[in-house]
Structure 1
């Protein structure tokens, strides 16, 4: 989908300095959890600024959702946090090849904002009857109600601030799990190393790095 105006349906707080923005799905738009879109802000002088956000909704039907870090000095985050239902925002995409494709057993490793796609894939996989394990590292977790609901539904969920490798070792099973990694570059490197230590083929791991941590 080329740059297309979409309507904001809701903006919800989902944790410290984090929001979930729900958009009405435009005609012809389809995406899978783990793919991402580019959100574009146009300034009064005609200049534009775009940022990529990974879907945090398990499906795309009438609406889809992205989770956004709201750094006080950010360009897009505070602006999106100030949108009201009915406002229009320009979106392009989806992009990305590292998304859920019906794997029957998944291990999701998320750092910081990577929890958005992780919970989306976990929910989609649970709905499909798959086995789900999720390790989330963050000092200020977001989407806690969704994480709790996943745990209640039978997923193995560990939320940690440190001892990340130990948490991975607790839930990892290289014999049958498809591994997904989402987060900033340093986290993705550490997560890939942890998976390699547990016997995973790192060439088969689906990794989406959000670049250097700001």
Structure 2
């Protein structure tokens, strides 16, 4: 893979700390839902730094859509999310990854487990499913701290209502909506077992989020009988930013 010149085409605020950025990338080779890219920034004095970001949308030709959440004290994400303006240049390298990918023609039941900004590559899968007219059973379980932290909130509500075979479950760990039925709390083994019961232990599973969330969910899934080979994971390490 080589670095490719890109420029920012548009930006959209998703939450107070997350923004979606669309980059124009001439000659982009295409990608699958779940893959990611490296983004490199270079200052006028020649200093450069790079970070990896998941792609938020299916392949749309010469455009790459990323959703970036600000990492406190991060070196790259605050600039990318808050200071990058339309027309600004960056370099992209990718697509990267061949294991954590979902194929739009899949007919297998699928469970998607997202923690925080781990929703980003899973959103690419939901969007690809919609665009392909795929109606195979898919359940997204999205764990966030508070209702204000839900990325893509409006679109998720719309897709849950209109996309055949898609179910969206929002879990809040610190503050739940007043009208919500589930009290705040972390994802439980019992909840996972119930969802797997509905989909079947042979379902494909994609888990993305902070390392602690991913490890706990993956261990619980294997404990309740899901074959480890069907559990695909993507972790956000503590050194990102």
TM-score (norm: length of structure 1): 0.91
Q: Does 1:106 align with 2:110?
A: yes
Judge conservation of contact 1:158–1:167 (CA < 8 Å) in 2: no
Q: Does 1:129 align with 2:135?
A: yes
Judge conservation of contact 1:36–1:54 (CA < 8 Å) in 2: yes
- In 2, the alpha carbon distance for the partners of 1:8 and 1:124 equals 22
Q: Counterparts of 1:44-63 in structure 2 under 5 Å?
A: 44-63=44-63
Structure 1 counterpart of 2:159: 150
- In 2, the alpha carbon distance for the partners of 1:66 and 1:74 equals 17
Structure 2 counterpart of 1:160: 171
Aligned residues: 214
Structure 2 counterpart of 1:32: 32
Query: How has the CA–CA distance of structure 1 residues 84 and 142 changed in structure 2, closer, same or farther, with 3 Å as cutoff?
Result: same
Displacement after TM superposition at 1:51 (Å):
0.5
Displacement after TM superposition at 1:204 (Å):
2.5
**Which stretch shows the higher mean deviation, 29-38 or 143-152?**
143-152
Displacement after TM superposition at 1:87 (Å):
1.5
Displacement after TM superposition at 1:176 (Å):
4.1
Judge conservation of contact 1:107–1:178 (CA < 8 Å) in 2: yes
Judge conservation of contact 2:28–2:63 (CA < 8 Å) in 1: no
TM-score (norm: length of structure 2): 0.82
Q: Does 1:193 align with 2:192?
A: no
Secondary structure class of the residue paired with 2:14: strand
Structure 1 counterpart of 2:204: 178
Q: Counterparts of 1:79-98 in structure 2 under 5 Å?
A: 79-81=79-81, 82-97=83-98, 98=100
- In 2, the alpha carbon distance for the partners of 1:39 and 1:171 equals 36
